[in-house]
Amino acid sequence: MSFIDFIRKMYNFNPDAKYFGLHAITTPVLLLRDPELIRSVLVQNFATFPDRFGFDLNEPLLANNLFSLRGQKWRDVRDLLSFSFTSSKMKMMFTLMSECAVDFANFLSTSISAEKSDMDMKDAFAKYAIDIIATCAFGIKIDSMKNPTNKFFVYGKEVTNFIRTHPIKIIVLKIFPKLGRILNLKLIDSHASDFFRNIIKTTIATRDAEHITRPDMIQLMMDIRGKEDRRELDIDDMTAQAFAFFFGGFETTSTTIAFVAHEIAVNPDVQTRLRQEIDKVLEESNEEVTYETINRLEYLDAVIKETLRFYAPSILERVCDEAYELPPALPGEKPFIMKKGMICWIPVFAIHHDAKYYDDPEKFRPERFLDNKMYHNSACYMPFGLGPRMCIGNRFGILGIKILLFHLLARCELKPCAKTTLPLRFSKKSLLMTAENGFWLNIQRRSDMRSVLASASINSIFSENKC
């Protein structure tokens, strides 16, 4: 079975237990089931569970990015990068993302034909994800739909695909980290890591020489240079943090959009309501697609939130940093002392599909998130984690998804096709959540598409804010 289904099976092993133990090959793991206990671990007692297990690597790109860092260095970099994701920074990056989304939607809506209207949407959405990461994190404008062989896209897929291409290396590095270091095992080829490092180095040198300023992540890291009480980042640090966008955003963003598109296609009532909402907002805003416009789409927001519930990550992982007493797993049992170094898993997907917390959890129902604040900051809804170590880029990811779906649904209609798998099944070949036979859909250009969207003048709405 898939890893997702396996974890769910373990979660349902004893519905009355707050937690229980299992082994991940040779590593003992505690699987936590109780929301109060989960909140205690992720939030109230974060100092005791501050880190992920991660990898012990000789690779700066992976070892030095925010996902892998630990202790004080993680805190320093997290504090620095948090400024990248404020509302003001999101408004600045909105323009960059929108240009990518318009390019993507225009290309798709004008290039499809009756013979070529069925496609695996995951590959298409991967190109969009690469484009927004390239422009917002690395300061490079690319169009991977028109130029799918560009080095950024090719190397981007390569460096984020190591979970699929190097499963044996991953097992060795997770279970026998010292052996991995002795053998100098690497997950990313040097030519790919050198490519991204050279991009950062060249971009910084060019901006310094020509006094160029751009609303992206590199600029933020450059701007702290010379400021008091701020730790400067060297080229390797900057490259690692920019790469964190790839590591944390490329696969998750493209896969989430693919799952949203699948649910929109197989639920015509959802698609109809979304199109009506988008068309109404376009009319009311005189076709000016702004940051505020996108954030007024309440039903689109609910559809994305429901997708993140329905297709949540399999687990969150934390390492115990000091002895910690768990309450009894079952009534009448004794407390359990977690020792330093022990690992706990939080089964997010299984919790999101537990009828104890969600009515009719196996039904895709976006309405559950309309005017409902009960899931906010809840241990029963954790698509981006919870507590100080929750995903720092969650607002960036959601904004990128909203912008693309807005422009895509304004121009195109999504339908199931002969290759669409119903019901959708999870792949047994990957630890990551993905569809077993791909995300095949039929794409049709909307016959009622608004004329302004059909014209090239759409780009003029961004002209005042081009960089």
- Rounded CA separation 183/207 (Å): 40
Q: Among residues 344, 321, 248, which one has the least CA distance to residue 72? A: 321
Res 462: pLDDT? 40
Least confident residue range of 66-70, 222-226, 229-233, 260-264:
229-233
pLDDT at residue 360 is higher than 60 = yes
Q: How many other C-beta atoms are found inside a 10 Å radius of the C-beta of residue 451?
A: 8
Mean per-residue pLDDT over the chain, rounded: 86
In whole angstroms, what is the distance from residue 179 CA to residue 223 CA?
Answer: 40
Total of domains in the chain: 1
Q: How far apart are the first and last CA of the chain?
A: 48
Distances in whole angstroms, Cα of residue 372 to Cα of each of 292, 303, 305, 309, 311: 21, 13, 11, 14, 19
pLDDT tops 80 at residue 54 = no
Residue 69 has pLDDT above 50, yes or no: yes
151 contact partners, CB below 8 Å, separation of at least 6: 195
Residue with the larger pLDDT of the pair 55 and 458: 55
Residue 391 labelled as part of a binding site: yes
CA dihedral (342, 73, 78, 384) in degrees, to 10, reads -20
Torsions phi, psi for 232 (to 5 deg): -75, 150
- What radius of gyration, in Å, describes the C-alpha atoms of the chain? 23
CA 378/CA 374 separation, integer angstroms: 7
pLDDT value of residue 103: 94
Provide the residue range defining the domain that includes 442: 3-465
- Cβ neighbours of residue 185 under 8 Å, at least 6 residues apart? 169, 172, 173
CATH for 230? 1.10.630.10
Q: For the chain, what percent of residues have pLDDT higher than 70?
A: 90
pLDDT score at 56: 61
Q: In this predicted model, what pLDDT tens digit does every residue of 152-179 receive, in sequence order? A: 888 887 777 766 656 677 777 777 777 7
Residue 316 in this model has a pLDDT that exceeds 90: yes
pLDDT tens for residues 390-434?
988 899 999 999 999 999 999 999 999 999 999 999 998 877 788
